[in-house]
Amino acid sequence: MEEPKYHLTAVVKSRAENLEDFDGPLDIILQLLSKNKIEIRDIQISLIVEQYLAYLEARKRMDLDIASEFVTMASHLIYIKSKMLLSAADQQEALSEMELLMKSLEERKCKHALEQIQIGKTYLAARNEIGLGLFPKQPEPLRKDERYRYQHDARDLLKAFAMIAARSEKLLPPPVSSFEGIVGKEPFPVTKKAAQLLKSLVSRGVQKFREMFRGNRSRSELVATFLAVLELCKLKSVFVEQAESGEQTVTFLKMPDETKMEEQT
Amino acid sequence: MNELERAIEAILFAAGDPVDTARMATVLDCDPDEIHKAAQVLSDQMAFDRRGIRIVRLGEQYQMCSSSEMADVVTKTLETRKPPKLSSSLLETLTVVAYYQPVTKTYLEQIRGVDSGYSVSSLLNRHLIEECGRLNVPGRPILYRTTPDFLRTFGLHSLDELPEIERMSLETPPEQVPEQLAVDDLPGAAP
Amino acid sequence: MNELERAIEAILFAAGDPVDTARMATVLDCDPDEIHKAAQVLSDQMAFDRRGIRIVRLGEQYQMCSSSEMADVVTKTLETRKPPKLSSSLLETLTVVAYYQPVTKTYLEQIRGVDSGYSVSSLLNRHLIEECGRLNVPGRPILYRTTPDFLRTFGLHSLDELPEIERMSLETPPEQVPEQLAVDDLPGAAP
């Protein structure tokens, strides 16, 4: 449904309070009127009628739908305008007339929309039974696979540890890994160190405790030396005492029992 | 029957509900077009062999269902019934939703000119329409659209198959109190 | 494919659940033996064609199901919700197992200070920990250790790559250290 368009000069209120030209169909003019974008006094109805006739002339035929719509709307315009011209007191009444007009326009649209819907409804009604015999089924129960499928940062483990520590308010037993390089393994065997010490003591008799550590290259060798001295003491193979000077000395007594030494490794 | 067709057959069977082409494409690591092609081959073969099961296309989804030729034995075995045909007012409401979706109840009542609360809830119950969010205006009214079940029931493969009509754009009035319009389309359907 | 096979296919599809042979025989107005024969033909044909769907006999019933070869893609497609990520309590339990393994439930409950039965079984389900023998003490409690899945999840190649726990993280946080202990470490901060 093609609607005729109208051109009116300097009727639409712009922001700058200048009046701009209007181009568009009649119902837009009515809308603009209702929103006070156009003053009824600025509208020349004769101009609209002229343009409408020109439109008819161009189309060379009468569209009854458009014609009746035009007559309804144009007559309303004339009615409203004549009321406006009569007295300012009639303005309110004129405005409610406008609203009524707008409403009837909306209703016309709805009616048309519903008529159009009937086309679709007829089409659907004919197909109403096509799919009624197609039965879908319930989903098959899922075979659950709960295998974990996310990636975590290894540091999440540390955070979790901190959480436990914070909550328990007591020291957690350190895990085995914390002892690695201290006592977990014995990179420098105590037995080997004990043998070295014995060899050195046998040749010299007495030695300063401090000297036993001379030449030790690693923390584990230092530990081994200390443990070896303690172990040899326990086996009564050496004797440790503090001299007047405050210096500890180690004295060789006898060779220890071999089997007991082996338990060390 | 190739591997892709086997997989689609298994998925559609297990799902029961319509399955998105895109979802199958992701899982089966292939192009959606390949899914469409394979599903179409399967569907055609089933129709040609007049099998007891069929595959139907519903927009961008596929669904497996029993053949309508077998509707009688299926309903007898399962002791169900074919759903009844839609009444004229339900059909009208459904048509408005189909053309104007997503649409609010107020908007469709404006077009139909009658209260449509009963029709809407009835279509929701039949899974022919569903909620699809809310309109961002005061009151945040619920929006409705048609479902894949709607397509299947009416033997449509997509909404594009609906005949073309002129759609009006209405001035949406502020949410109307349906009091003035409270002539329910179902006489005696008191709330 | 004959009419009886078509009907059985449609019925088994729509039912989803197992269907009695007798019930199908009644509905299809034939002998149960004929149902058995037709269902068997259908079942064999599907297996032979390696279809995505299969028919299995369960005593006097038949059921249609998706092929187990397709279980993976079916599960992937249908899983609507991603399985949840590890909760903090699961993560804690897993951490204790990782650092103290092999470990009994009692020991890890002692460390965590809370009951951990649910966490342990949940981690077992997710294949992040596994049983690895029993501790040789009265009651012979089960020992747990982490799995290769655990290493993969945390991007580790071996347990040696577990981040080292710093002394700080093992100790009570400073703000919770009792006053007398805290000041000892500070020279000149005599009470």
pLDDT digits (tens, 9 = 90+) for C94-124: 999 998 888 999 888 888 888 888 889 889 9
Contacts with A139 from chain B: Cβ below 8 Å? 14-17
Residue A55: pLDDT band by 50, 70, 90 thresholds?
Answer: confident
Give pLDDT tens digits for B77-118.
887 777 778 899 999 999 999 999 999 999 999 999 899 999
How confident is the prediction for chain A on average, in pLDDT?
76
Q: State the DSSP H helix or E strand holding residue C55, giving kind and residue range, or none if neither.
A: strand C53-58
Sort C97 into a burial class: Cβ within 10 Å, 0-12 / 13-18 / 19+.
Answer: buried
Give me the total of CB pairs closer than 8 Å, taking one residue from chain B and one from chain C: 103
pLDDT-wise least confident of A47-56, A149-158, A177-186, B146-155:
A177-186
- Would you mind telling me the total number of residues written for chain B in this entry? 191
Cα dist. C23→B164, B175, C27, C43, C65 in Å? 47, 55, 6, 18, 19
Contacts with C92 from chain A: Cβ below 8 Å? 160-161, 163-164
- Min Cα–Cα distance to chain A from B35, Å: 20
Highest mean pLDDT among A22-26, A137-141, B13-17, C78-82: B13-17
Give pLDDT tens digits for A142-186.
666 667 777 788 888 888 888 887 776 655 666 666 555 554 455
Kindly tell me the sign of the dihedral angle through the C-alpha atoms of A84, A86, A91, A97. negative
pLDDT over 70 at B71, yes or no: yes
At residue A35, what is the residue type? Answer: K
Q: Is B115 left (phi over 0), alpha (psi -120 to 50) or beta?
A: beta
Give pLDDT tens digits for A90-110.
667 767 777 777 777 778 778
Return the number of other C-beta atoms located less than 10 Å from residue C46's C-beta: 19
Contacts with B156 from chain A: Cβ below 8 Å? 127
Chosen from C99, C145, C152 to mutate, greatest number of chain A CBs within 10 A: C99
Determine the Cα–Cα distance for residues C23 and C29; give it in Å rounded to an integer. 10
Kindly tell me the sign of the dihedral angle through the C-alpha atoms of C11, C15, C19, C22. negative
Query: Higher model confidence: residue A176 or residue B16?
Result: B16
pLDDT at residue C12, rounded to an integer: 94
CB contact under 8 A, A131 and B82: no
CB contact set of A157 (below 8 Å; sequence gap of 6+): C91, C94, C95, C98, C99, C154, C162, C163
Chosen from A164, A168, A180 to mutate, greatest number of chain C CBs within 10 A: A164
Share of chain A above pLDDT 70, in %: 80
pTM over 0.80: no
Average pLDDT over residues B109-136: 91
Contacts with B5 from chain C: Cβ below 8 Å? 52
pLDDT at residue C185, rounded to an integer: 38
CB contact set of A252 (below 8 Å; sequence gap of 6+): A198, A201, A202, A205, A206, A237, A238, A239
> Would you call C154 an interface residue with chain A, using a CB distance cutoff of 8 Å?
yes
CB contact under 8 A, A130 and B154: yes
- CA-nearest residue to B15 within chain C is C78
Chosen from B23, B66, B72 to mutate, greatest number of chain C CBs within 10 A: B66
pLDDT at residue B177, rounded to an integer: 37
Tens-of-pLDDT digits for all 191 residues of chain C? 889 999 999 999 999 888 999 999 999 999 999 999 999 999 999 999 999 999 988 888 899 999 988 988 888 888 766 667 788 888 889 999 998 888 999 888 888 888 888 889 889 988 899 999 888 777 888 999 998 889 888 888 888 888 887 543 444 333 333 333 333 333 333 33
Q: Which residue has the tokens 């069929």?
A: B54
- Name all domains of chain C by residue range, CATH numbers in brackets: 3-78 (1.10.10.10), 88-166 (1.10.10.10)
A139 → closest Cβ in B17, B86, B154 = B17
pLDDT at residue A144, rounded to an integer: 63
Helix (H, G, I), strand (E, B) or coil at C104: strand
- Provide the token pair at B156: 């449509």
pLDDT over 80 at B43, yes or no: yes
Residue A207: pLDDT band by 50, 70, 90 thresholds?
Answer: confident
pLDDT at residue A169, rounded to an integer: 61
Residue A63: pLDDT band by 50, 70, 90 thresholds?
Answer: low
Average pLDDT over residues A184-197: 76
pLDDT at residue A104, rounded to an integer: 75
Contacts with C165 from chain A: Cβ below 8 Å? 158, 161, 174-175, 177-178
Determine the Cα–Cα distance for residues A224 and A192; give it in Å rounded to an integer. 9
Contacts with C54 from chain B: Cβ below 8 Å? none
Half-sphere exposure of C8 (CA within 13 A, CB side): 32
- Min Cα–Cα distance to chain B from A51, Å: 26
> Would you call C174 an interface residue with chain A, using a CB distance cutoff of 8 Å?
no
